[in-house]
Chain A
Amino acid sequence: MTDQGMPACLVITGCRRRYAGSSPNWRKRRPPAASLPTVAVVPHRLSTIFCGIIPVGMVAVLLLGSGAAAESVQPIGLGDPGALLSISIESGRDGDGPLLLIGNESRQQVIVTGDYASGQKRDLSRSVTYGVEPAGVVAVDPSGLVTPQGNGTATIRASVSGNDGEPHDATVQLSVESFDRNPAINFPNQVVPIFTKLQCNSGGCHAKSGGQNGFRLSLLGFEPQEDFEHLSREARGRRLNLAAPDLSLLLRKAAGVVPHGGGARMEVGSPNYRLVRRWIAEGASYGDPEARRVSDIEVLPRVRMMGPESQQQLVVIARYTDGSTEDVTATAQYEANVKELAEVTDRGLVTTTDQTGDVAVMVRYQSHVGVFRATIPLGAPIETMPPEHNVVDEKVFKKLRLLGLPPSEPCDDATFLRRVTIDIAGRLPTGEETAAFLADQDAAKRDRQIDQLLASGDYADNFAKKWAAIFRNKRVTAAGDDGRHGTYAFHAWIRQSLHENRPYDEFVRGVLAASGDAKESPGVIWYRAVCDANAQAEDAAQLFLGTRMQCAQCHHHPFEKWSQRDYYSLTSFFSQVDRKPASLPAEERIFHRRGVASAVNPRDNQTVLPAGLGSEPMEIPAEEDPRQRLVDWMSTPDNPYFARTLANRYWKHFFSRGLVEPEDDMRQTNPATNPELLDTLAEHFIDSGFDMKDLIRKICRSQTYQLSSLPNEYNADDLQNFSRYYPKRLPAEVLLDAVDAVAGSETRFPGVPAGTRAVQLPDSGFRSHFLTVFGRPEGDSACECERTGEANLAQGLHLLNSADMMSKLSADGGLAAQLAADSEREIRGKVRDLYLAALSRLPTDDEAVTVAEFVTHKSQQGEADTKRAFEDVLWALINTKEFLFNH
C-alpha cells in the first residue's frame, strides 16, 4: 500500500512492534522476533571502557535473567487425531441445487475434510484420490481443482484409507453446461478482478494517482467504469486490438511479450490470459451495466484448528445479487495478518509455520472481504493453571488451554508492585512503599494497591500523558501568546476528567463536541490541532472507533466495507464547525455555525447527511450541533466500535499488545486474537457506564496481568496470547522520573513549578534530550505509535555515558552523596535501600555481598571514593534491563 491517498496505511507498519522477552530463552533455530534493546547488552561490555570501576563479574550479577535457559521444545500441535471416522467433500456452493459449471473456463475448488475420533478436523484435499464418473465431463487435479471437459453430469468421488486401513469416501455431484459456448464476458465482474489479482491496479502501480507510465486504473478496481474508459478510449485505442486480440497492448504488456515495467504478470495461454483475450475477441464491451454484482463473499472453512506446518485449502465463493454463486478461489486475493504464523498462496492454500497462535487470512474479492481464522495450538501438556481471578482469566486461560500453551507462574509481590505502579501511576514505587507492601500479609493487598493507585493523582498524571499525546495537545505560538494557555488548560482538563473518573462518553463529548474557547471548554484545543472536517472525522474514527477511515477519502477502503459515502457521512458531522478569534492570539473559539449538516461526496457529487459508521443517515435540525449527535451515536450501548476500541486501547496499555493490533485499526480482516475476551471487556465497560477506572481495575486484578514475565519452556515465543507478561521499556517520561527518583536528582523544566515530574508535563513543548531520545511523542498524530518503545544506540549512550546522567548520579544532594555521608548505617542496609528504590525488590544474598564488598573495597581508598562507589552502583543499577524495563 503505497498509494499517496493513504498515508496512514504506511504508519501501520511503523507502529507494529514487539517486545522481546528479557529471558535468554530463545529458540535456537530462528532468530528472535525482535532484537534485544541495545541498552540491555551494553553495560558489561562497556563498563571497562567507560569507567573501569565495576568489575565485569559484578555487573553480570546485577543483570536480570536468573534461571537456566530451557531447551526449546518441538511443538506437539493438535496431537494424535485418532482414527479417521469419515470424510466430506465441499464445494461451498451446495445451497443452490446441484453444482453447476457454465462454459469451459469456469473453475471449482473442492475441499475434503476428514473427521477424526478425537474430534479434530483436518484438510485432506491434497491427500485423497479423486475419481470422476462418467469420465469426460470434468477433470480433478490432485489439489481438488475441478475443470470442465464437456457437457454432462458427473460424480466426483474422493477416497482415502484411514490410518487404520479403513477406506472412506465422499462424493459430490455436478454438471457442466454450455461447454462449447462461454457466456459473454462482463468487464466489471470478470476482467477487473484479474487486474486486482495480478496487482495491476495496486496502489504502487497503475492505480497511483496519475497512473503508471500513462496507463491508469482505479485502485483495486473499485471504479470499473473508469478502467473501461482508460482501456478502450485512451492511447488511441492501441491498448485493445479487436481484430487481433493477441496484439493488444494490454495482453502483450501483461504477458511480458513486450517490455513491461511491472514484468510479466501472466503467461500466454494461462486461464487469465485466455479470458482477457476472449473478452477482447468478443468486442471488448463493458457488458450489461445492470448485470449481477457480487453481494458478498464466503470463505470456507471460516475457522479451523491447524497443526504446525500443516495445510488448509480455502474455497472462496462469490454470491451475486441475482442469487447465483461462483467459485472465485483463483481470483481472490489472500493475505495473512501474521506472516510468522502462516503463509498463503494465491490459490488459497494456507500453510502454517511452527509457531503457535492465531492467524487471520484476509480474503479480498472486488470490494468484499472475508476472513479465515486459524488457531495453531502448541499442544503442550497443561497440568495446572494459576487460579482464575476474574472473567479476564476465564477467557485468556480458555484460549491457552485450547492452544496447549501453559502460562508462566504468577509473579511475586515485588514484581507485581513495580509493574502495576508503573502501568497505572507512571512511576516507580518508592522504597518505603515496596518495603510496606512486601511486609503486608493481607491476601487482598494486590487489589487494594490497585485501588489506591487508581485513586491517586499519579494515575491521572500518567493517563493524561497518554491522552494528551493522541489528542495532539501541542503548543502553538503566535505573536503575543506563548501558546501555553491552551495546552495547559487542555491537559488540566484531561487530567481532572480522569482523576474524577468522568465517564468515557462524557470525556469524549468534552473533546468532540467542544464549543467555546480554551478557557471554558479546553477540548477546543483538539480542533486547533485537527484543522478540517476530514481530519476531524479521521481522527475521531481512529481515536474512538478504532477505525482508520483515511483510505476511504479517495477510494473504497481496501480492507473494509467503508466507501467514500461512509467517509463523507462521517465528515459531515463536522461540516458546521466554525471558528472565530478568541481572546488569545493563538487560540480560537469553536462554535456550531447554524445550518443543516451535510457534505458532498466528490465521487458522485451527491450530498450526504451525517451518519455513524454503518448507520442510517440522520436529519439534524439546523440549530442543533451535529457533533452532539455523533457522540450520542457513539455512546449507545449497541455501538460496536466505541467501547471495544477503548477496551482494546487500555488492554494494550497494560499488556504491550492489543487484542487487536494495531489498536486503532480494528476491522473484520484484522480480528482480535481473543474475540471473546474483547467482547467481554467491552460489555463490562458498557455495563459499568463507561467507567474507565473500573476497566483498569478489571484488567489489573486478573491473574493474566499478574503472570510472570519469565517464560516457561513453552511460551517464550508467545507474543499474542498473554501466557506471560511481555516486558516493555519504560516510557520516556517514566524512565526520566525513575532515574531522578533513584539518583535523588531533579530535572527542572522551565514553565512549570519545581518538582514537576516529566510524566506531569502538560505538553510536548519542553525541550529535553532525554525525552526525545527515549521516544516521547510530539503530539503530531492520533496514533499511539508516535510514542516509540524501541531501542537505539543514542539511548544506550545517553544512559551509559552522558554529562546529563553523570550530573544526576553525582549530584551533591543525590542518593549517592547521602549514602556516602551516612556513617550511622551498615553497608548492607544501604544496599538494601538501593535495591528497593531502583528495582523495587530486596537484593539477593549474592548481590548484597558483591555490592557491599565493592563499596567497602572502594571506600578504603578514600572518603571521596565512597561517594563514587555508590555512584557506580547506582549507574550499574540504572543500566540493567531490570531497571529499564517494566517486567
Chain B
Amino acid sequence: MSFPQVFCAAACLVRSFAVPTADRLRRAVLAVGLLIVLASPLGAQLPMPRLHQIFPPGGQLGTSVDVTIRGLDLDADPETAQELVFSHPGITAERKVTSPPSSETEPQPLPGQFVVTIDGDVPVGTHEARVRGRYGLSTPRPFSVGNLPEVLEQGSNNSLESPMPLELNSVVNGRTSGDSYDVYRFTASAGQRVLLQCEALRLDSRMDATMTLRNAAGEQLAYSRSARRSEPMIDFTAPADGSYLVQVYDSTYRGGEPFFYRLAVSTQPHLDFVFPPAGTPGTTGTFTLYGRNLPAATPAEGVAVDGVALQKTEVEIPIPAEPQGSGVPLSGRFLGPSDMRARGFEYRMKTPAGSSNPLFISFATAAVIPEQEPNDDRNRTQPITVPCEVVGQFFASRDRDWFSFQAKRGERFAVEVFSQRRGLPTDPFLLVQHVSTDEQGEPTKPPTRG
C-alpha cells in the first residue's frame, strides 16, 4: 500500500513532559495495575468487571439502539443496579425491561440488555462504553457513532446466492462465523462513488476484516484487507446501474461472537489526510484536505491511495486553543499507547450529506515550516531554523528528506518524528549527523557511509 502523506516534524520541542494521558489509557494502566495486585497471592480475590462485548458496537446519531453486553464479573443479576455509561455525556443507556405480565407486577430488567440513546450532537467517531455494577466500573469497549441508518445482520447470508439486501448509505452490524463469509447486496447507479468501510479493529473485535466487492455476476471488482492499524476500505465508482455484492470475512475465515464488525456502504464524504498536518493553536490556517466524495473538490493530481485517485479541497480551519489536561481526542482511528503523546484536535467536515469522519490535526508548538524539495540528498539539505516544526511528506516511495540546522556546543535538542503515531503505515527512520567544517567553513569529509 502506498500512502503518500506523512507528517514528519523535526522539531525542537520546548514543552512540559507532563503529558496528559487519555482517559482510556489511564484507566487501562490502572486496570493493569489492579491486575498485578490481584495476581499476587496476597491480593484479595475481588471480582474485576470486564466488558467483553457490546453488540451492536455502535449506533446512529439521534436514535436509540438496543444493545446486548457480555463480559465477566459484570454482575448482571437483575436484582442489582447495573448501568452502562459512555465517555460522551450525549450517549445514555437504560436497562431494557420485560413487558410486565400483568399490570400489577413491576417490569423486570433483562440481564445484559440496554437501550442506548445517542443525542444528535454527539460527534461522529468512536466513543467508549463501560459497565458500572456492584464491583465497580468495568474495562471499556469502543462504541461507534455514525450518521447513517443502521441494521443488524440477519444471518443466512453466507453464500453469494443468498445475500442480505442493504440500502446504500447505511450501516450493518454483523458477526462472521467460522469457515464462512457474509454477503450483502446493495444497489448503486452508474458513476456513483461508493465507499465501503468495515470497522472491526478499532472496535476491539478479533476479526481481521477483509472485503471483496463483486458485481451481480459474482466477478471480483475490488478487494481490501485490514493492514496494520487501518481498516479495510473499498472506494469504487459504480460502472453501471445495478446491484453489487460485498463479501465480508475474517482473513483466515475465523468467526464467532467476538468477530463482530460494522460495515458502512455510503456516498458520504471521507477524509484521508490533511496538509499541513499541524497548526498553531488559536489561529486560523489554510489547510488542504484530501479525501473522497468531498463537495466542491478538485482531483488531487498524482495522489492516489491503493490506486484510487483522491480529491482535494482547501479550507480555512480555526485551530482551537490548546486545552489543558487531556489533549488527545478519541477519534475515528485506532489509537495505540504511543499515540497518546500527540496533541491536537479533531476536524470533521460538515457537508449537506452529513459530517465526515474525523481527522486529527496536531497543535504546533513552534513555527511550522513546510518541507521543500529537492532535499533528497545529504549534500542538498533544506536549512531550517530551530525551534520549529517541519511538515513534510514521504512522497514518491523511498523518499528521503534532509534538513540542516545550526547548533552550539552544549545545547540540548529533542527531535521527534510524528508519523506512525498519527496512525500512518510508515516506519520513519531518523538520523542525526554532525557536519564538521574546515577553516573556510566548508564541510569536511562529506560522509559517504552513515
Contacts and interface: CB of A to CB of B under 8 A. Distances in A.
Interface of A: 455-457, 460, 484-485, 488-489, 492, 496, 499-500, 515-517, 519-520, 591, 594, 596, 619, 621-624, 628, 750-755
Given A750-B179, A751-B179, A752-B179, A516 B252 contact: no
Contacts of B179: 750-754
A750 B220 CA distance: 24
A751 B252 CA distance: 7
A519 B431 contact: no
A753 B180 contact: yes
B181 A456 contact: no
Given A457-B220, A621-B450, A520 B251 contact: no
Interface string B205-246: 000101000000001100101111000000000000000000
Contacts of B252: 484-485, 488, 751
16 contacts: A455-B219, A457-B219, A484-B252, A489-B251, A499-B220, A516-B228, A519-B226, A519-B227, A520-B227, A591-B427, A596-B449, A623-B400, A750-B179, A752-B179, A753-B180, A754-B179
Contact of A517 (B210, B228, B253): B228
Given A594-B450, A623-B450, A488 B181 contact: no
A488 B252 CA distance: 6
A484 B431 CA distance: 37
Nearest to A485: B252
Contacts of A460: 220
Contacts of B307: 500
Contacts, number: 65
Given A499-B223, A500-B307, A492 B427 contact: no
Contacts of B260: none
Interface in B371-416: 398, 400
A515 B448 CA distance: 25
Nearest to B307: A500
B17 interface: no
Contacts of A622: 449-450
Q: In which size bucket is the chain B interface?
A: 20 to 34
Nearest to B249: A753
Given A628-B398, A754-B180, A456 B219 contact: yes
Contacts of A619: 448
Contacts of B180: 753-754
Nearest to A493: B225
B427 A516 contact: yes
B298 interface: no
Contacts of B448: 619, 621
Given A489-B225, A519-B208, A519-B228, 16 more contacts: A485-B251, A492-B225, A496-B223, A499-B223, A500-B307, A515-B427, A516-B228, A519-B226, A520-B228, A621-B448, A621-B449, A623-B400, A623-B429, A751-B179, A753-B180, A755-B159
Contact of A753 (B1, B225, B253): B253
Nearest to A596: B449
A492 B251 contact: yes
B37 to A, nearest CB: 26
Contacts of A623: 400, 429, 431, 450
A48 to B, nearest CB: 42
A753 B223 CA distance: 17
B183 to A, nearest CB: 11
B71 interface: no
Contacts of A488: 251-252
Contacts of B136: none
A750 B179 CA distance: 7
A751 B227 CA distance: 21
Nearest to A486: B252
A197 B53 CA distance: 77
Contacts of A456: 219
A753 B181 contact: yes
A189 to B, nearest CB: 41
Contact of B208 (A485, A500, A515, A752): A485
B62 interface: no
Contacts of B425: 520
Interface string B41-75: 00000000000000000000000000000000000
Among A456, A519, A596, A628, max chain B CB count under 10 A is at A519
Nearest to B429: A623
Contacts of B219: 455-457
